[in-house]
Amino acid sequence: MAWPRREPSRAPVGDESSDMAGVRLRRVNRWLAEDMRQDLADLYMASCETGPEEEHRSRSREEFLSRLTGDIRRPGFAMVIAETDGLVGCAFGFPVHGDGSWWHGFDGALPRSIEQLTESDGVFAVTNVLVRPHPQDQDLARRLQERLLADHQASLGTTLVDPADHPALNAFRSWGWQDIGEIWRPGLPTMFRVLVLPLGERTVERLEGLGHHAWTRWPG
Residue 103 predicted with pLDDT over 50: yes
**Residue 202 above 80 pLDDT?**
no
- Asked if residue 35 is part of any domain, the answer here is yes
Confirm if 25 and 144 have CB atoms less than 8 A apart: yes
Give the total residue count for the chain: 220
Give domain status of residue 5, yes or no. Answer: no
Which CATH number does the domain housing residue 66 bear? 3.40.630.30
- Confirm whether 8 is domain-assigned: no
Instruction: Identify whether 3 is part of a domain.
Output: no
Sign of the alpha-carbon torsion through 216, 177, 150, 10? negative
- Would residue 7 count as lying in a domain? no
Q: Which of 5-9, 20-24, 54-58, 72-76 has the lowest mean pLDDT?
A: 5-9
Provide the residue range defining the domain that includes 58.
Answer: 13-216
What is the value of pTM for the model shown? 0.80
Residue 204 has pLDDT above 70, yes or no: no
Percent of the chain whose pLDDT exceeds 90: 57
Helix 37-47 with 54-72: angle, nearest 10 deg: 130
**What's the pLDDT tens digit per position in 164-179?**
989 889 999 999 999 9
In a domain, 67, yes or no: yes
The verdict on residue 47 lying in a domain is yes
End-to-end C-alpha distance for the chain, whole angstroms: 44
Total structural domains in the chain? Answer: 1
**Average pLDDT in the 117-143 region?**
89
Res. 134 pLDDT band, cuts 50 70 90: confident
> Which pairing describes strands 156-161 and 24-28: parallel, antiparallel, or unpaired?
unpaired
111 backbone φψ class: left, alpha, beta (φ>0; ψ -120 to 50): beta
Quote the pLDDT of residue 56.
Answer: 54
Q: Is residue 88 a part of any domain in this protein?
A: yes
The pLDDT of residue 137 is above 50: yes
